[in-house]
Amino acid sequence: MTGVPAAPAWEARQVRTAPGPVTTMATGRPGAPVSRVGITVAAGGWHVPPIGILNRYSLVVTNDRRRPGALEAAVMATLWAADAPMTAAQVQLLVGDDLAYNTVQTILIRLHGKGRLRRRRAGRGHEYWPVEDAATAAAGRMRAALPPGSGRHAVLRQFAATLDPADAALLRALLADSDGD
């Protein structure tokens, strides 16, 4: 059988890519695409595994993760826009984004645990509604962002300097009204 090359136990195949920036599996940082077993993919999107590594599929890891708290914010916005308490299934339909029912249910349970939602039994599940309206929640986040002590003055001054003229005028009017109360 001399002169006939043996068939390799592997073959070159094109890497399936997903949308989004490519990251390496080992570091999670942008870089060359890697296969499921951590081998760098060759230029042109072809992955040639070395002999002895058997893998059926190549995988490119993408960085399509949501920012922390994005789902909680979407669920809260949905509940604030609603005129009545909502079940997990109703929230799932309105939030969309191909979220699984269990994902929405987990977010609602965690928001309830944090004290941001109230709930009551509705059939076999629960109905949820916000503890406070969106404006009150935003004001609370703004207050929490102010550092205690002497740094407050600098933070408030910088905040006021970044307001557009209409918002600055509205803030002055609101402060004048609160002084008169």
Sorted by where each begins, the domain ranges of the chain are 8-65, 70-130
Q: Which two tokens stand for residue 21?
A: 């920036």
| 91 touches 78 (CB < 8 A) | yes
pLDDT tens digits for range 115-151: 999 999 999 999 999 999 999 999 998 888 888 887 8
CA distances from 19 to 46, 57, 99, 141 (A): 17, 17, 18, 34
Residue-level pLDDT, tens digit, the chain, 181 residues: 455 555 454 444 444 444 454 444 444 445 554 444 444 444 554 444 444 444 455 444 455 667 778 899 999 999 999 999 999 999 999 998 788 999 999 999 999 999 999 999 999 999 999 999 999 999 998 888 888 887 888 888 898 899 999 999 999 999 898 876 5
CA distances from 88 to 55, 82, 128, 158, 176 (A): 40, 13, 8, 40, 43
Q: Say which CATH topology domain 70-130 has.
A: Arc Repressor Mutant, subunit A (1.10.10)
Beta strand segments in 70-140, E: 86-87, 117-122, 125-130
State the CB neighbour count (10 A cutoff) for residue 128.
Answer: 26
pTM of the model: 0.58
**Residue closest to 41 by CA, chosen among 28, 56, 60:** 60
118 - beta bridge partners?
A: 129
